[in-house]
Structure 1
Amino acid sequence: MKQFEYKTVEIKPKGTWRSKFDIVEIDKILNQYGKDGWELISMEDKNFGYGNTECFYYTFKREI
């Protein structure tokens, strides 16, 4: 039977108003996890209302 381990990573926006996400930096982070054998299985935003995203949670899994 396959077994997996899971990891959740929080990525926050940068900038004064917390509205800027650096796509290049996010790709760099996601690619590094991929190289380490992690597979992205979900992404969820944390929203405090008014359409403002506080951060994103990326959840990965890999076989152990």
Structure 2
Amino acid sequence: MEKWEYKTVKYQTGGFLGGKVDEEEFEQLLNECGMEGWELTSCFDTSAGQGHSRDVIAVFKRKV
């Protein structure tokens, strides 16, 4: 049976009221996790309303 470990990363977009995602910075974060062997399985935001995100949550997995 395969065994997995999971990692959750919270990417903050700005202050209390949220903001917009810095695409280059977020991509760098994803690539760094990928270089460590993590595979992105899910990604979602916590909405602050009016097109702004408070946080982006990325969930990764890799074999143990």
TM-score by length of 2: 0.83
Distance 1:63 1:19, change over 3 A: same
CA-based RMSD: 2.1
Q: Map of 1:1-64 to 2, 5 A cutoff?
A: 1-14=1-14, 18-49=18-49, 51-64=51-64
Give the letter aligned to residue 53 of structure 1: S
Q: How many residues align?
A: 64
Alignment gaps of 5+ in structure 1: none
CA contact (8 A) 2:42 2:59 kept: yes
In structure 2, how many angstroms separate the alpha carbons of the residues matched to 1:3 and 1:61?
A: 10
In structure 2, how many angstroms separate the alpha carbons of the residues matched to 1:48 and 1:18?
A: 6
Q: Answer 1 or 2: which has greater strand percent.
A: 2
Which 4+ stretches in 1 moved above 6 angstroms? none
What secondary structure, in the 3-state scheme, does the structure 1 residue paired with 2:20 have? coil
